[in-house]
Amino acid sequence: MLGPVILAASRSDRMRRLISAAPVTKQVVDRFIPGETVDEIVPIIQDLTSRGLELTMDVVGEDITTPEQAEAARDAYLQLIDRLKELELGTRAEMSVKLSMFGQALDGGHELALANVRPVVEAAAAIGTTVTLDAEDHTTLDSMFAIHEELRKDFPQTGCVIQAYLFRTEDDARRLAANGSRVRLVKGAYKEPAEVAYQQKHEIDKAYVRVLGILMEGAGYPMIGSHDPRLIAIAQELAHRVGRKLDEYEFQMLYGIRSDEHLRLAAEGHRMRVYTAYGTDWYGYFMRRLAEKPANLRFFLRSMVSK
Ligand code: FDA
C-alpha cells in the first residue's frame, strides 16, 4: 500500500523540498539518474552502447509552470542532440520526452508543447534518430496522442507510450497498431482513479498481455517496456508465434533496474534499449521508481537514518 502514498508525495512541493535537500539523497538517486549534465552523461552513453545496448535518453523534468521553463527544456534536448551527433550513434540513441515539460499544462499548452517539441523531433531526425512521447497521467493523453499524430505527418518514426493499466488502452493500441506506429507498452506509473484504470497488479498484467497481443499482430513496431520476467517471456513467445523477426520489435528497461537482464537479452540478439534519465529536476522520476518497489524506499530511508 506504500506505492500510492509515494505517488501522492511525488506531486507534493513540500515533500520535493524535503527530499531534494536530504544529504544522502544523491547517492540513492544516482542509481536511477546517473548524471546531472550532458558532460556527466556522455561517458554513461559510451559505456552502455559499447556493451551492445541501445538508449532512449530522458532529460528529467515535468509539470513546469512557465513558458520559459518549456523553452529551457527544448534547449536541453537540443544540447543533448548536438552531443549525440558527435557520437554518431544514429537510432542507437533516441530521445524520450514528457510533454508536461514542454508546456502542455500551461495556458494554450497543447499548441505550446507542440511548438516546443517539434524542433527536438526535427533535430533528432537530422542526426538519424527519433523521439518517443512518454505517457503521463490520463488527463494529458488526448493531447499527447494528437501531438503524436501531428508529428508523424512529417516524422513517421515518432513513437508514443501506452499504459496497460488504463481501460482506454486496448482501443488506443488498435488504432496505433493499424497505422504502423512505434509504440512502447508499459504498465503505467501514475496514481490513477478506479474510474479509468485497473488497480490490481494481476488485472494490469492481464491487460498488458492483451495489449501486447494487439501490438504484436499489428502493423507497427512494438517496444516492450517492462522488467517483468513473465511478460518478457510472453512477448518473446508472441513475437515468435506471429513471425516477427528480432529487428521487428524491441525490449526497453530503465537504467539501474535489472541491468543483468539488459545484457542477457542483448546477448540473445534482441534489441535492448535502456531508458537513461539525467538532469537536475529528478524528483518526480525518482519518486515513481520508489513507488514501484517499496524495498527502494526502505533502502532510501535506512541510508538517511544511518548517516
Ligand atoms: P513490475 O513493477 O511488476 O516489476 C517487475 C520486476 O522488475 C520487479 O519485481 C522488480 O524486480 C523490478 N522492478 C520494477 N520496478 C523497479 C524499481 N523501480 N526498482 C527496482 N526494481 C524494479 N510509465 C508511464 O506511466 N509512462 C511512461 O512513459 C513510462 N515509460 C517507461 C519506459 C520504460 C523503458 C520502462 C521500462 C518503463 C516506463 N514506465 C513508464 C514505467 C512503467 O509504467 C512501470 O511503472 C515500470 O516499468 C515498472 O513496471 P514493470 O513492468 O517493470 O513491472
Q: What is the dihedral of CA 70, 73, 78, 83, to 10 degrees?
A: 170
In the predicted structure, residue 239 carries a pLDDT above the cut 90: yes
Among 152, 184, 271, 273, the active-site one is 184
Q: Distance (Å, rounded) from C-alpha 101 to C-alpha 7?
A: 18
Query: Given this model, what pLDDT does residue 87 score?
Result: 96
pLDDT band at 152 (very low <50, low <70, confident <90, very high): very high
- 186-201 tens-digit pLDDT: 999 999 999 999 999 9
Among 134, 172, 205, 281, the active-site one is 134
In the predicted structure, residue 307 carries a pLDDT above the cut 70: no
Q: What is the mean pLDDT of residues 261-267?
A: 98
Query: Given this model, what pLDDT does residue 300 score?
Result: 75
- 69-78 tens-digit pLDDT: 999 999 999 9
Nearest ligand 1 atom, CA 253:
36
Please answer whether residues 290 and 297 qualify as being in contact, where contact means their C-beta atoms are separated by less than 8 angstroms: yes
Q: State yes or no: is 184 an active-site residue.
A: yes
Query: Given this model, what pLDDT does residue 295 score?
Result: 83
- 78-120 tens-digit pLDDT: 999 999 999 999 999 999 999 999 999 999 999 999 999 999 9
Q: Report CA(226)–ligand 1 centroid distance (Å).
A: 5
Q: Report CA(225)–ligand 1 centroid distance (Å).
A: 7
- The domain spans of the chain are 33-281
Overall size of the chain counted in residues: 307
Residue ranges of the annotated binding site are 98, 163, 187-189, 201, 226-227, 288-289
Which one has a higher pLDDT value, 18 or 289? Answer: 289
Q: Report CA(254)–ligand 1 centroid distance (Å).
A: 7
Q: What is the mean pLDDT of residues 240-259?
A: 97
In the predicted structure, residue 26 carries a pLDDT above the cut 80: no
Query: Given this model, what pLDDT does residue 167 score?
Result: 98
Q: State yes or no: is 11 an active-site residue.
A: no
What would the DSSP string read from start to end of 92-154? GEEEEE-GGGGTTTSTTHHHHHHHHHHHHHHHHHHTT--EEEPP-SGGGHHHHHHHHHHHHHH
Q: Of the CATH numbers 3.20.20.220, 1.10.150.20, 3.40.50.1820, 3.10.28.10, which one belongs to the domain with range 33-281?
A: 3.20.20.220
Angle at 91 between CA 158 and CA 248, to 5 degrees: 75
Residue ranges of the annotated binding site for substrate are 98, 288-289
Mean pLDDT of the chain: 94
Query: Given this model, what pLDDT does residue 305 score?
Result: 65
What would the DSSP string read from start to end of the chain? -HHHHHHHHTT-HHHHHHHHH-TTHHHHHHTT---SSHHHHHHHHHHHHHTT-EEEEEE------SHHHHHHHHHHHHHHHHHHHHHT-GGGEEEEE-GGGGTTTSTTHHHHHHHHHHHHHHHHHHTT--EEEPP-SGGGHHHHHHHHHHHHHH-TT-EEEEETTBTTHHHHHHHHHHTT-EEEEE---S---TTTB--SHHHHHHHHHHHHHHHHHSSSEEEEE---HHHHHHHHHHHHHHT--GGGSEEEEETTSSHHHHHHHHHTT--EEEEEEESS--HHHHHHHHHH-HHHHHHHHHHHHT-
Ligand 1 pocket residue status of 120, Cβ below 6 Å:
no
